[in-house]
Chains A and B, each alone.
Chain A
Amino acid sequence: MIKVNNLFYSYTKHGDPAVNDISFDIKKGEIFGFLGPSGAGKSTTQAVLSGLLKLQKGSIIIDGIPREGTPGKAFFNRIGVGFERPNVYKKLSGYDNLKFHASLYDRETEDPMKVLEMVGLADEAKKKAGAYSKGMMQRLGFARSMINKPDIWFLDEPTMGLDPNTANSIKGIIRKKQKEKTTIFLTTHNMFVADELCDRVGFIVDGKIVAVDSPKNLKLKHGKAVVNIEYSDGNVLRSKRFEMNGKSKAEMQKFIGEHDVKTIHSGEPTLEEIFIQLTGRGLE
């Protein structure tokens, strides 16, 4: 569906590029996560793909058609873009915001009220967006991005700043859209969101892609399975971690025999640990 080859983007003529020679592809109906710390080049990549920024070097091929220059109306009719910062008219109501955006498209759009219901804002539909809380505005921005029933949906930190319940309902909408064959490009620095939602993820640091694979494969390839044991040491509860390999396994069996073991938990590495292992950098 989307094929990106040797993409390059620089904001200055002679400075370090924000995105440097990256290549990846996204299949139809896939959720592709772009993970990296702030300033890694995630948003710039998304901006070039969504047509906000001009393609400087490299190629973007969508449905077999290479992009030339600035994308046209046909492309913008097909995409939805959710930004990290909500982009809403604060003086207009939530309903009027969506109604206005829907009026910009040449294709069938969602009913604004239905979308507001989906994001839990139906009761606040007639209220000025300026009177919304930050989380509500974030949800309105998210709702705006799907008003045109996009085939390709770009989402930048869709759950940032949301309470766990709302974040879960947003994740539910994203999964539902995936089932309807929407291709989703998601940028985040939240590994749990990526792990939960994405079919595949790309790790990006300093404008370069370090790894691309499914979260499961990344963990299998680069992570180590571990066992956490909690035991009693006199009156104190302590814990010890063992890797699940030959030598460590024998040590663990011996440890269990010699200690007053209270709990044993097997564990797999988190995506964040894999990211740190591969890039040498944290995500914040």
Chain B
Amino acid sequence: MRRILNLLKKDVLLGIKDVFILLEIIFSVVIVLIILFLIPQNIDSEETVFIYDRSGVINRFTDRFGSQNIEMDNELFVDSRQEIIDGMKENKTALGVIITANDDRTFHVELLTQPYTSETMTEYLEVNLEDLFSIFTGTYPPDVYRSVRVTALQENIRDEIPFNKQLLPAIMLMMVGMVGLFAMISVTGQEHSEATIRAFRVSPASMTEFLLSKHLMLLGVSLITFSILYIPVIGLSGYFQGLLIILLTVILGSSIGIILSAFFDSPMSSVGWVLILMLVFSLPAVSLFAPVFSPGWLRLIPSYHTLFGLDAAMFPDNNAQIIWQSAGLLAGIDIVLLFFSTWIFRLRIQREL
């Protein structure tokens, strides 16, 4: 125990002097500020369109057929070009349309876009406008739209949770959970590159103690960064459940980090594997944001359980069993990985001079 504490003290001291711990804390503070103050609580994915209809065609159409035949949830009618410009300045995702009637009973449509509006979006709007004018001019019946209306399943189910908070499980996974992977490769890589691991190997301390101390240091850092991210955004509701899930994920990540560092001498030489793993571990986030997409194979990725466990802890909705299921699964994987990573690291290191 005394030896582990001394090892831990050394690892924490190195973590502080390497600025790793400080950077982790600073990043967490920055991320939490971004979540709270920069990412909006509600995001409407459909852009607002300001319409200045100088021709009066839309009014004439709605007077004749009724407004229910044309859905205009995000359109705002204004009375001047300047109002469009002012509106677009205020709403950075808004667009503008000015409709003018020509003498030959055709229409001139001017589309006002933001400087960063994509070409694809512009083309999409052009097609929509063409479509709209074919309705106004009676080239095809407006009823056709009612017959193809689709209602997505589970739509609006998460609407009551602010958008910025919905992002937190995915951010936690990458910012806290996966830090174990990077950091473990980095700290063991440093012991390799400074050859301090050789000096350690001829001391009475064991390799298990060596690795355990690093696990503990990373768990400590994760506890701090998790708290910085969680408490200001969510509060204390589900804090301990969320912490359990994240710490189990950190152990998983750092165990994989140990396996990689057993095969690669430096963090740079294992960077390809790290990127592949990060990509794989981030895939389940798709399922979290679009629950319709949840194939069986996605559940085989451990981070799936981290994401859904964290989500359940943060946003309780009679779903406590998800937390415990996720924790149980992650704990099971951790036990196997802890033993395997220690064994493989010891085996590989014994062959090194």
Contact surface of A with B, Cβ cutoff 8 Å:
11, 43-44, 47, 50-54, 70, 73-74, 76-77, 79, 81, 83, 85-92, 96, 100-101, 103-106, 141, 144
**A92 to B17, alpha carbons, bound, how many Å?**
8
Query: Can you list 24 residue pairs at the A/B interface with Cβ under 8 Å?
Result: A43-B353, A52-B201, A52-B353, A74-B204, A76-B202, A76-B203, A79-B202, A81-B199, A83-B198, A83-B199, A85-B195, A87-B195, A87-B196, A90-B194, A91-B14, A91-B17, A96-B13, A100-B9, A100-B10, A103-B6, A104-B6, A104-B7, A104-B203, A141-B199
Q: In this complex, what residue of A is CB-closest to B210?
A: A104
User: Can you list, as one digit per residue, whether each of B229-266 has a CB less than 8 Å from chain A (1) or not (0)?
Assistant: 00000000000000000000000000000000000000
Tell me if B205 is interfacial: C-beta within 8 Å of chain A.
Answer: yes
B194 touches A88 (CB 8 A): yes
5 nearest A-B residue pairs (beta carbon): A103-B6, A87-B199, A73-B204, A91-B17, A76-B204
Give the shortest distance, in Å, between A204 (CB) and chain B (any CB): 16
Chain B residues with CB below 8 A from A103, complex form: 2-3, 6
Pick the most buried of A88, A89, A92, A106: most chain B CB atoms within 10 A of its CB. Answer: A89
Q: In this complex, what residue of B is CB-closest to A148?
A: B203
User: Can you list, as one digit per residue, whether each of B280-300 has a CB less than 8 Å from chain A (1) or not (0)?
Assistant: 000000000000000000000
Q: How many residues of B contact A (CB 8 A)?
A: 24
Tell me if B350 is interfacial: C-beta within 8 Å of chain A.
Answer: yes
**A96 to B6, alpha carbons, bound, how many Å?**
11
**A197 to B51, alpha carbons, bound, how many Å?**
96
Q: In this complex, what residue of B is CB-closest to A75?
A: B204
B353 touches A89 (CB 8 A): no
**A278 to B353, alpha carbons, bound, how many Å?**
29
**A50 to B200, alpha carbons, bound, how many Å?**
12
Tell me if B18 is interfacial: C-beta within 8 Å of chain A.
Answer: yes
Contact of B202 among A81, A92, A100 (CB under 8 A): A81
**A85 to B197, alpha carbons, bound, how many Å?**
12
Q: In this complex, what residue of A is CB-closest to B196?
A: A87
User: Can you list, as one digit per residue, whether each of B183-203 has a CB less than 8 Å from chain A (1) or not (0)?
Assistant: 000000000001110111111
Contacts A76-B202, A104-B3, A106-B204 given; does A92 touch B13 at CB 8 Å:
yes
Contact of A53 among B18, B196, B200, B350 (CB under 8 A): B350
Pick the most buried of A70, A74, A87, A106: most chain B CB atoms within 10 A of its CB. Answer: A87
Chain A residues with CB below 8 A from B201, complex form: 51-52
The dominant DSSP class at the B interface is helix
Further contacts, 18 of them, CB under 8 A, given A44-B353, A104-B203, A144-B199: A51-B201, A51-B202, A52-B201, A52-B202, A70-B350, A74-B204, A81-B202, A87-B196, A89-B10, A89-B14, A89-B196, A91-B18, A92-B10, A92-B13, A92-B17, A104-B200, A104-B205, A105-B204
Contact of B203 among A54, A90, A91, A105 (CB under 8 A): A105
Contact of A100 among B6, B17, B194, B350 (CB under 8 A): B6
Contact of B196 among A47, A77, A88, A96 (CB under 8 A): A88
B202 touches A77 (CB 8 A): no
**A92 to B13, alpha carbons, bound, how many Å?**
8
Q: In this complex, what residue of B is CB-closest to A46?
A: B353
Chain B residues with CB below 8 A from A54, complex form: 350
**A52 to B199, alpha carbons, bound, how many Å?**
9
Pick the most buried of B6, B14, B196: most chain A CB atoms within 10 A of its CB. Answer: B196
**A101 to B350, alpha carbons, bound, how many Å?**
20
Chain A residues with CB below 8 A from B196, complex form: 87-89
Chain A residues with CB below 8 A from B351, complex form: 11, 53
Contact of B204 among A44, A50, A53, A77 (CB under 8 A): A77
Q: In this complex, what residue of B is CB-closest to A47?
A: B353
Chain A residues with CB below 8 A from B9, complex form: 100
**A103 to B353, alpha carbons, bound, how many Å?**
24
**A53 to B7, alpha carbons, bound, how many Å?**
23
Give the shortest distance, in Å, between B218 (CB) and chain A (any CB): 17
User: Can you list, as one digit per residue, whether each of B330-353 has a CB less than 8 Å from chain A (1) or not (0)?
Assistant: 000000000000000000001101
Give the shortest distance, in Å, between A63 (CB) and chain B (any CB): 17
Chain A residues with CB below 8 A from B353, complex form: 43-44, 47, 52-53
B202 touches A50 (CB 8 A): yes
**A223 to B353, alpha carbons, bound, how many Å?**
36
Q: In this complex, what residue of B is CB-closest to A74?
A: B204
**A47 to B349, alpha carbons, bound, how many Å?**
13
**A100 to B13, alpha carbons, bound, how many Å?**
11
**A149 to B99, alpha carbons, bound, how many Å?**
92
**A56 to B264, alpha carbons, bound, how many Å?**
25
A87 touches B194 (CB 8 A): yes
Give the shortest distance, in Å, between B345 (CB) and chain A (any CB): 15
Give the shortest distance, in Å, between A89 (CB) and chain B (any CB): 6
**A125 to B173, alpha carbons, bound, how many Å?**
42
Chain B residues with CB below 8 A from A87, complex form: 194-196, 198-199
Chain A residues with CB below 8 A from B350, complex form: 53-54, 70
Give the shortest distance, in Å, between B344 (CB) and chain A (any CB): 16
Chain A residues with CB below 8 A from B204, complex form: 73-74, 76-77, 104-106
Chain B residues with CB below 8 A from A79, complex form: 202
Chain B residues with CB below 8 A from A53, complex form: 350-351, 353
